[in-house]
Structures are given as C-alpha cells and as structure tokens.
Amino acid sequence: MLNRLKQYDWRNFNYSLVIIVIILCMISAFTLKLAGGAEKGAGYMRGQLIGMIMGLFIVAFLSVLDYHFICRFVAVYFFLGIMLVLMTKIPGIGTDLDTGSSRWIRLPVGSITFQPSELLKIIFILTMAVLFCKIRKQLDQFKAVVWIVLLTLPAFGAIVIQPDLSSSLVILFVMAVMTFVAGLSYRVIVPIISVGLPITLIVYWYVQQPGNLLLQGYQYDRVFAFKNQDSTVMRIVDLNRQQKSSVNAIAEGGLYGKFLKDGARAGSSRAYSSVSIRESDFIWSVISEEFGFLGCCLVLLLFGILIFKCFRVARKAQDFLGMLIAVGVSAMFMFQVFSNICVVTFLFPNTGLPLPFLSNGLSSMMSSMIGIGLVINIGIQPAKTKKGGFTMRKAYSDMDNDVDIDFSL
C-alpha cells in the first residue's frame, strides 16, 4: 500500500481546490444559519458542517484511490444507480418530501433521506468516460452515437420519470460536453445537428402547449407562469411568487448587503424570509441580500476558479480516461451553478436544482465531494509507470489490446 501511495506525484496535489471547497462550505454554513433564523438556523449550520467534514473524508479517500480501479466496476455502479433512482417510485421506500416529485429514498435511520439522482450523475460521468475509451477509434462512425444514446437513455429516463427534469438536463449537458471533448467526428456531428435542431425546436414548442404528454402538470404550470410573468391572474401570481420574492431579496442586498449594516439582528425582516426553500435551491437569494453584489461576485469567482481548475486538471491528465472524467465533473458543476442562479434570478422557469457546496442537502454535498476527490486523483497520477509499481492506465489507454492490469507491489 505504501508503494502505491509513493507512486503518485504529490507535487501536483490540488490543495487550492480543497481550500476553495472548504471556503464555499463555510460560506454555506454561515448563510444557512441566517436563512434558518433563530428556530432552524443552528440546525442547518450544524448539518452543513457535518456534511463538509464527511465530504472531506471522502475527498481524502478518493484522492488516493486510483480512478482506473474505480472504473473497473462502472457496469455495477451504473446498474445499481439506475435501480436506486427507480426505487424512489416504490411506495414506502421513495418519498416526495411534499414536493410532488418522488426524488428521495427514506433511510431507516431517523428522518434521513437520500437523493439517488445526485449519485447517478457521478456514476454517469464515470460510465461515459469508460465508454468513450472503448469506442475511441469508432468516433467517426454513426454506431458510436448508438452506443452513446443507449447509455444515456437509461440514466435520463430513470430521472425523468421521478419526475426530475432539472437533473435529467444535467445528464444531457454532461453527455454533450463529454461527447464533444472525446472527439466525435464532425461527419457525425453535422448530420445529428441538422436533424436534431428542428426536432428540438418542435419539442420546445410542444412543451408549451396545454395537455402535452412530455411534462407533468406542475411542470407545465411553471413554464406557463414563466411565460406570463406580468399576469395578474392569481394562480399565475402564486406560481411566480417564489422567484419574484427571490429577485426582490437580491435587489434588497444592494452593493454591500445588509449583514454589514446590522448583522443578523434584522433577519426576520429580510426580504428572503418570504422565499420558500431558501435554505436549499434558493440559497443564492440569501447570499445576495446578506452580502450584496460584492459578496455574490466573490462566490462566483470561487466557482469560476473551481471549474477552471477542474478543466485544467483535464487538460493535463495523463490519459484519455482521466481527461474525460475531469471534463464531466467540470461540466456538471458548470451547468448546476449556471442553472441554479438563472432560476433564482427568474431567468429560467422554476426547477429543483441545488447549488453545489452551498445548498442544504447531504446528497448534493456528497456527490460534489466525490467529483472533487476524483479530479484530485487524476491530477496526481504519475507521468510514467514505475517498474514494480501498480497502474491501471494501460487498461484504458489502448482498448484494442488485451493488457493485464499490474497490481504487483
């Protein structure tokens, strides 16, 4: 075991990535305390700090566990991930937490719930990376697209039927970015875009029609309300109230925010006090009102550096597999940050997508920490295999040859 650890290039350990994650988690814990007020604030803060500590242990473990070894079992992970997501539809096991969407599994320990779609995002990234390694020399053929679709549909479909449209869009975005980076030939991409773009426009028009079969009733209501933001019809006003209250809270923050003016003394009178689930999907409204435009810029800068560093690890990865995993994790963070903030600022229809490291929720925290651990391990991989050491890079560097995986000490 010691020889295995010595093989890594510890000079490339991404300490700054860990520091950024810790800073984001600390900002989250403090913000959640404010969001929860005197009644729930301390509990939210304590839960987030516990999640951070658990997550850092996961980062430490995965950063020294060779991702090639992890990827040997992606078929098992993928099957179990799909099964867990489907189990949310089983009465007595799955629960909707009064949201109308069965996305969680209720664990037999206390009132703890688990959202398997968060774990499936990471599993999907690993599975897609292995697939591209296996079909790397076929990326100029249409059968590569068939393999990509066959792998994407189960993950996408399992999440859609919960229903969870936002997480399913994460799957599609990650798939698209990884496919592009993997090098799918333009001879394949151009015909797909030529056919896919008109279909996308037709689907976009169709989902806006009442009684369509693609969206659940509440999902169509949100799209309809988003299109009619200025309507005075009470039903539409009620549907838009959460996002409009969020926008008001953001505007109230001004340049410096209210926390510098009065601390937490006026928490009950904050504009975000009327924003439902402000501790989770709408945590950005709390950050905006308490810390203002400058505070938001700081958080966005931290996210920007985090995503940039993940992409940088991908660019310097020692093999194709590592590069694709790091790209997939980067794409996941990028889409979730962008989409969450667009929803909170009323630029997108309302969806239930957490903000990585900031939103309250253990499932999202663990999923994000797993992604960070994988990226760090990719970054410390040695440039060359040392004699007598162990490596699994050969198993994915040339899929046309049967290469034994060396575990010798």
- Amino acid present at 333: F
pLDDT digits (tens, 9 = 90+) for 265-283: 655 567 788 788 888 889 9
Neighbour order of strands in the sheet with 113-114: 94-95, 104-106, 113-114
262: in domain: yes
Average pLDDT, the chain: 85
* pLDDT above 60 for 399: no
Token duo for residue 33: 């305390």
* Cα separations in angstroms, 260 against 136, 231, 246: 54, 36, 20
pLDDT digits (tens, 9 = 90+) for 119-172: 999 999 999 999 999 998 888 888 888 999 999 999 999 998 888 888 899 999
**Residue 33: which residues within 8 A CB-CB, separation 6 or more?**
41, 42, 44, 45, 264
Distance of CA 366 to the CA centre of its chain: 10
Q: Which pairing describes strands 104-106 and 113-114: parallel, antiparallel, or unpaired?
A: antiparallel
213: in domain: no
Helix (H, G, I), strand (E, B) or coil at 406: strand
36: in domain: yes
Q: State the DSSP string of 297-366.
A: HHHHHHHHHHHHHHHHHHHH-SSHHHHHHHHHHHHHHHHHHHHHHHHHTTSS-----PPTTTSS-HHHHH
**Residue 311: which residues within 8 A CB-CB, separation 6 or more?**
326, 327, 330
Which of 95, 140, 66 lies closest to 390 in space, CA to CA? 66
153: in domain: yes
Q: Band of the pLDDT at 114, cuts 50, 70, 90?
A: confident
Residue 304, CB-side half-sphere exposure with 13 Å CA sphere:
6
28: in domain: yes
71: in domain: yes
DSSP single-letter state for residue 114 = E
Which of 257, 265, 287 lies closest to 275 in space, CA to CA? 287
Phi, psi for residue 212 in degrees, rounded to 5: -65, 155
Which of 354, 380, 350, 352 lies closest to 368 in space, CA to CA? 354
Q: Quote the pLDDT of residue 308.
A: 96
Helix (H, G, I), strand (E, B) or coil at 148: helix
The region of weakest confidence among 113-117, 228-232, 402-406 is 402-406
100: in domain: yes
Token duo for residue 133: 């390694």
Q: Band of the pLDDT at 243, cuts 50, 70, 90?
A: confident
Residue 106 belongs to what domain range? 2-182+244-397
53: in domain: yes
What whole-number distance in Å separates Cα of residue 214 and Cα of residue 160?
10
pTM score: 0.88
Contact between 373 and 64 (Cβ < 8 Å): no
Distance of CA 294 to the CA centre of its chain: 25
**Domain count for the chain:** 1
